[in-house]
Chains A and B, each alone.
Chain A
Amino acid sequence: DAGVIQSPRHEVTEMGQEVTLRCKPISGHDYLFWYRQTMMRGLELLIYFNNNVPIDDSGMPEDRFSAKMPNASFSTLKIQPSEPRDSAVYFCASSSDRGWGKLFFGSGTQLSVL
């Protein structure tokens, strides 16, 4: 299997622009998690899905953030409008074994909002 695939690897945008991050989980995994990593806050869970349904989005920082999972093989995290404080590395991870399972992480998207 190719593992969790995230795109793009790097994104540089200007404040106010819309940003869309993409994730393809490992086939057969029914859990998908979006995390954000910053120096100050470490790894924060933003939202997770089970069988394409959002289960907990309490970590989403504000209404500018939204996430979707239209099918089992694709998820997006959108920021609109983007702000400089959104600059971070965004990771997608998938799992086949609920919250106590092993997470498989993608390579992350390094987002810089100027």
Chain B
Amino acid sequence: AQKVTQAQTEISVVEKEDVTLDCVYETRDTTYYLFWYKQPPSGELVFLIRRNSFDEQNEISGRYSWNFQKSTSSFNFTITASQVVDSAVYFCALSEAGDDKIIFGKGTRLHILP
């Protein structure tokens, strides 16, 4: 069965620091998709990124970067030079190719302190 673990329940960092959010997943499929979503204080979840299991290239989008390592079943998310607006709950999620469901981790609440 698929499972997503976000071991960090809550993280606080000072503005401009770099921060990494961890995500470990479990799946028996060889083809699967990994996601990150952001839930700001307003409550609505917003899609950030999707990766498929065959593409282990790291991705960078502005201050955001993602490190996908199949060997450790991890898909970590790093925010560089964090800003107060990055304060949110971040969810990692997994979908197996043979299934339509997207299963979410429990989320990491990130506080960026001014």
Total interface residues on A, using CB and 8 Å? Answer: 24
Give a binary string over B73-107; 1 marks a CB under 8 Å from any A CB, 0 the rest: 00000000000000000010001110111111111
Cα separation A104 to B102 with both chains bound (whole Å): 12
A100-B44 contact in complex given A42-B107, A48-B100, A56-B101, C-beta closer than 8 Å: no
Per the bound structure, the CA–CA distance linking A35 and B37 in Å amounts to: 14
Residue count of chain B within 8 Å CB distance of chain A: 23
Is the CB–CB distance between A108 and B43 below 8 Å?
Answer: yes
Q: Is A102 an interface residue (CB 8 A)?
A: yes
Q: Does A28 lie at the interface of the complex (its beta carbon under 8 Å from any beta carbon of B)?
A: no
- Judge whether B44 and A108 touch: CB under 8 Å: yes
CB-CB under 8 A for A42 and B106, given A98-B100, A99-B100? yes
CB of B105 to closest CB in A, whole Å: 7
Residue of A91, A99, A102 with most partner-chain B CB within 10 A: A99
Interface of A is mostly: strand
Segment at the interface with A among B45-53, B54-62, B63-71: B45-53
Bound complex: CA A96 to CA B66 (Å):
24
For B104, the chain A residues whose CB sits under 8 A away are 35, 42-43, 45
- In the complex, besides A100-B95, A105-B44, A107-B44, 16 extra interface pairs with C-beta distance below 8 angstroms are A41-B106, A42-B107, A43-B91, A48-B100, A56-B100, A93-B45, A99-B33, A99-B100, A99-B101, A100-B50, A100-B52, A102-B50, A103-B45, A103-B102, A105-B45, A106-B44
